[in-house]
Structure 1
Amino acid sequence: MSATEYPRLAALTGVRFLAAFAVLISHFHARGLTPIPLELYAFLDAGRTAVVLFFVLSGFILTVNYWNLESGPGTRRFLVNRLARIYPVALLALGVGAVGTLIAAQPGNGHLLREWYGLERISVPGLLGGLLGQLSLTTSVLPWAELNQPWNGPAWSISVEAFFYLSFPALIMWMRRKPLRWIARACVLGFAGQALLVIGILALARGPAGWYLVYQSPMAHFFAFFLGVAAALAYLRGGREWLAEGRRRALAVWGSAAGIAGLSAAHLTDPKYLLMTPLFALLILGLATPIAVRGGGARPGALGHPVLVLLGEASYALYMLHTPLMNLYSLAGPGPVLGWVLLAATVLASIVVFSRFETPARKAVIAALAPKAGFRSR
């Protein structure tokens, strides 16, 4: 079975935009640019649970596309493709973020340091250390605000993704040999292990460092990625066909969506993602299964609409650029009406970046690194 036998996961591309937009509107609200009801802000969990959905999605999509990955040239091709996927936009966002960081670091701009980065002061070593963390994609392992907040705070999640990319080849080559019963048991143990890890971190590392590790460290989120890989293996081993029968797909989608909404409103755990992660996997499984059409064929559903797919493809640029742009917007002190206009402009800018910069830059990086990695670029 080849991954190319399966239709393009259009609905999952669409849901990527919804997750990115949850982060966008939460951050714009927190900055006072686009006020929303506090209940909605709490429901969105400041966008934090949406990022966990990204991690589950990442494991799922990588597995569907690379389930038969082998060591050697195959792994090198995978790693080059992943680097080309994330690094050009990360550098672009870092350049934009540098403008705001250098403005906030100027004497007399302490209010900007507090508002943008939650810092009372910043040192030259801190600036240089944070810059090195951004360039090396290691900010997620630096639980100090002076190092991980300036330049481009949301880059922490790309640092986590980079960790997952490095672990994926060994993980998939190991997991694909396991029966589904073993994978299911591993998921149950992983779910319990994640909860124990979070409890342990908060018990041992109190204060901001503990919460940073819980929300932004790779190990605290590894179960989300692992669960995405496990869900994709189930999908590829007959889960897609099983879910397509009768009302199973609808039950998976609407049941998981209702559960996620209920947990978002109930505030049963802190962090919220502890109970939501399995529901994210179920939602992804349902959305990845096309809707059967009478007379044969299938369609992806509303989330697979071409407009949402385009927005989803641009969601990485949107996620990486929105905070540096938001900081610069706030210098002008725009009112709520202009704030919504700027939010819409940020979404449009992400589409331009995706089509005019991200896509050609990705191809250029692959073409440059492919010979050194020992494979031909396509």
Structure 2
Amino acid sequence: MSQKPALNYIPALTGVRALAAYLVFISHYSYAFDENFPHAVQCFLGEFHIGVTIFFVLSGFLIAFRYFDTFQLTGDWFRQYFKNRVARIYPMYFLLTLAAFISYYFTKDPKTTNGFGSPIGLFFMHITFVRGFFDQLNFTGIAQGWSLTVEECFYFTAPFAFYIAQKYRKFYIQPVVITLIGVTLVLIFRNVNWYGFFGNFSFMFLYTFLGRCFEFYVGIQLALIVRKKELTGQAKSWYTYLGFALIFVCVWIISLMPIPEGKIAGLYHPGGIFTNNYLLPIAIALFFYGLLTETTILKKILSNKFVELLGKSSYIFYLIHLGWMYDLLHKNFNKWNDDIFELYDKWGKDWNSPFQYDWLNVVYAFIILNAVSILLFRWIEEPMNHYIRKSNFLIKYKQKTTISG
């Protein structure tokens, strides 16, 4: 008897979203631990950007698991499919991107535009996801939002990938062809001064779907494997812990790579790119396979109701953990620290301030941003998601539909 209907929602994989977002958070603020850890540990923590790869493999798995056997190359199917994707991704991305550019109006933070002449034009490039094709604009606005351009490219191409895989059985050739298209674009545009549009191979392999498609295809392959199995969760194997350990072996390998001149991480070394884009996704797939087939302590932790809530709100956390909201918190922490020491001077006390340590301020920010994420999820993201799905946007809402997710 097929177990597929029961797997339309997988609590442990929702918990994994929180894990992935927190790994990315650590990678961005690993500098705060400089005084407390050896250099090798700092380098290791700095490569926790691998949370993005976890997101990509997970997206490949979930989209294939939900749609591979049901997709149709019809207008109604595509309209329902894109309606679901818009409901899931777009409302919070649009609102938070708008907030970032409103913040720029007051702060004139150069990171928001990176020298681009028209903030309004750049805003429209953000909300249409095209800024992710330009190296010089990649970290503007919501810097980490570049990954959504990669996700959207996958969402758009996934049904065609499924069609080709079913009709022509050329599944394994697809990521090779897609990557070669990326290589060709770099060869064409690397000498064209157009804001870094496919301007170099590092950018193509690290920040575009053409370079990172293998991660999604690993997730798709995992879905094709598990959809044929009865997943009772009673398997007596070791895939969960093996995959989890291999994920951090890959992180360690990347952390050992020489950092190219002008870069900040071993990820930019060719060996780092290969490990991140091709070895790491396989380790993540093993980890996911274990979560689907085994019952372990780690699975129970990731399925915990509170961790599940953190996973549901992790998309917002990912979008706000870096940028104007964190900068505002950091500015206030510094102000409160100065105010407290002024107060100590008046009292004639030589006490410590709760805001004098960078690493502790990062912990405060982590807690506050999670709280904000949960509130935004409950008050805005979840209601908007349900509203769009039940609206007549793109296609008339039907009470029962075969398109889920």
TM range (shorter): 0.7 to 0.9
The corresponding residue for 2:247 is 260
The corresponding residue for 2:338 is none
Asked if structure 2 preserves the Cα contact closer than 8 Å seen for 1:101 and 1:150, the reply is no
User: Relative to structure 1, is the Cα distance of residues 131 and 236 closer, same or farther in structure 2, using a 3 angstrom cutoff?
Assistant: same
Task: State the secondary structure of the residue aligned to 2:140.
Answer: coil
User: Relative to structure 1, is the Cα distance of residues 331 and 99 closer, same or farther in structure 2, using a 3 angstrom cutoff?
Assistant: farther
User: Relative to structure 1, is the Cα distance of residues 195 and 284 closer, same or farther in structure 2, using a 3 angstrom cutoff?
Assistant: farther
2:89 to 83, 86, 89: 86
2:206 to 205, 215, 233: 215
User: Relative to structure 1, is the Cα distance of residues 40 and 312 closer, same or farther in structure 2, using a 3 angstrom cutoff?
Assistant: farther
- 1:196, distance to aligned residue in structure 2 (A): 11
The amino acid across from 1:21 in the alignment is: Y
- 1:278, distance to aligned residue in structure 2 (A): 1.4
The corresponding residue for 2:340 is none
- Are 2:284 and 1:284 equivalent residues in the alignment? no
Asked if structure 2 preserves the Cα contact closer than 8 Å seen for 1:25 and 1:34, the reply is no
- Are 2:2 and 1:9 equivalent residues in the alignment? no
Instruction: Give the Cα–Cα distance (whole angstroms) in 2 for the partners of residues 224 and 16 of structure 1.
Output: 16
User: Relative to structure 1, is the Cα distance of residues 19 and 374 closer, same or farther in structure 2, using a 3 angstrom cutoff?
Assistant: same
User: Relative to structure 1, is the Cα distance of residues 45 and 232 closer, same or farther in structure 2, using a 3 angstrom cutoff?
Assistant: farther
- 1:175, distance to aligned residue in structure 2 (A): 2.6
Q: What are the superposed Cα offsets for residues 341-366 of structure 1, whole Å, 9 maximum, x if unpaired?
A: 12210011111111111000112222
Instruction: Give the Cα–Cα distance (whole angstroms) in 2 for the partners of residues 310 and 339 of structure 1.
Output: 21
The amino acid across from 1:124 in the alignment is: G
Q: What are the superposed Cα offsets for residues 236-255 of structure 1, whole Å, 9 maximum, x if unpaired?
A: 012847x85432xx2x2222
Give aligned pairs, total. 349
Once the two structures are superposed, the pairs formed by residues 180-219 of structure 1 within 5 Å of their partners are 183=171, 186=172, 190=175, 205=190, 209-210=199-200, 211-219=202-210
User: Which of the two has higher C-alpha Rg?
Assistant: 2
Moved more, 221-230 or 270-279: 270-279
Residue segments in structure 1 that go unaligned for 5+ positions in a row: 106-111, 294-298
The amino acid across from 2:153 in the alignment is: F
The corresponding residue for 2:140 is 150
2:151 to 161, 167, 188: 161
Instruction: Give the Cα–Cα distance (whole angstroms) in 2 for the partners of residues 254 and 245 of structure 1.
Output: 13
Instruction: Give the Cα–Cα distance (whole angstroms) in 2 for the partners of residues 40 and 357 of structure 1.
Output: 38
User: Relative to structure 1, is the Cα distance of residues 229 and 130 closer, same or farther in structure 2, using a 3 angstrom cutoff?
Assistant: same
- Are 2:272 and 1:270 equivalent residues in the alignment? yes
Task: State the secondary structure of the residue aligned to 2:135.
Answer: coil
User: Relative to structure 1, is the Cα distance of residues 47 and 104 closer, same or farther in structure 2, using a 3 angstrom cutoff?
Assistant: farther
- 1:52, distance to aligned residue in structure 2 (A): 1.3
User: Relative to structure 1, is the Cα distance of residues 204 and 134 closer, same or farther in structure 2, using a 3 angstrom cutoff?
Assistant: closer
- 1:193, distance to aligned residue in structure 2 (A): 8.1
Instruction: Give the Cα–Cα distance (whole angstroms) in 2 for the partners of residues 333 and 230 of structure 1.
Output: 46
Task: State the secondary structure of the residue aligned to 2:398.
Answer: coil
The amino acid across from 2:210 in the alignment is: M
User: Relative to structure 1, is the Cα distance of residues 36 and 104 closer, same or farther in structure 2, using a 3 angstrom cutoff?
Assistant: farther
Task: State the secondary structure of the residue aligned to 1:332.
Answer: helix
Asked if structure 2 preserves the Cα contact closer than 8 Å seen for 1:29 and 1:36, the reply is no
Instruction: Give the Cα–Cα distance (whole angstroms) in 2 for the partners of residues 190 and 25 of structure 1.
Output: 30
Instruction: Give the Cα–Cα distance (whole angstroms) in 2 for the partners of residues 289 and 202 of structure 1.
Output: 44
- 1:170, distance to aligned residue in structure 2 (A): 1.8
Asked if structure 1 preserves the Cα contact closer than 8 Å seen for 2:112 and 2:142, the reply is no
Q: What are the superposed Cα offsets for residues 190-249 of structure 1, whole Å, 9 maximum, x if unpaired?
A: 47985996799699959x8433332211211111112211110111012847x85432xx
Instruction: Give the Cα–Cα distance (whole angstroms) in 2 for the partners of residues 142 and 200 of structure 1.
Output: 12
- 1:21, distance to aligned residue in structure 2 (A): 0.5
User: Relative to structure 1, is the Cα distance of residues 340 and 204 closer, same or farther in structure 2, using a 3 angstrom cutoff?
Assistant: same
User: Relative to structure 1, is the Cα distance of residues 78 and 290 closer, same or farther in structure 2, using a 3 angstrom cutoff?
Assistant: farther
Superposition TM-score, scaled by structure 2 size = 0.75
The corresponding residue for 1:365 is 388
User: Relative to structure 1, is the Cα distance of residues 176 and 214 closer, same or farther in structure 2, using a 3 angstrom cutoff?
Assistant: same
- Are 2:134 and 1:135 equivalent residues in the alignment? no
Asked if structure 1 preserves the Cα contact closer than 8 Å seen for 2:87 and 2:388, the reply is yes
Instruction: Give the Cα–Cα distance (whole angstroms) in 1 for the partners of residues 148 and 316 of structure 2.
Output: 12
Provide the identity percentage.
21
1:124 to 117, 138, 141: 117
Asked if structure 1 preserves the Cα contact closer than 8 Å seen for 2:30 and 2:46, the reply is no
The corresponding residue for 2:301 is 302
Once the two structures are superposed, the pairs formed by residues 320-339 of structure 1 within 5 Å of their partners are 320-324=319-323, 325-332=325-332, 334=334, 335=356, 336=358, 337-339=360-362
1:232 to 223, 236, 243: 223
Task: State the secondary structure of the residue aligned to 2:129.
Answer: coil
Instruction: Give the Cα–Cα distance (whole angstroms) in 2 for the partners of residues 33 and 97 of structure 1.
Output: 27
The one of the two structures with greater contact order (alpha-carbon pairs below 8 A, sep at least 6) is 1
- 1:151, distance to aligned residue in structure 2 (A): 1.8
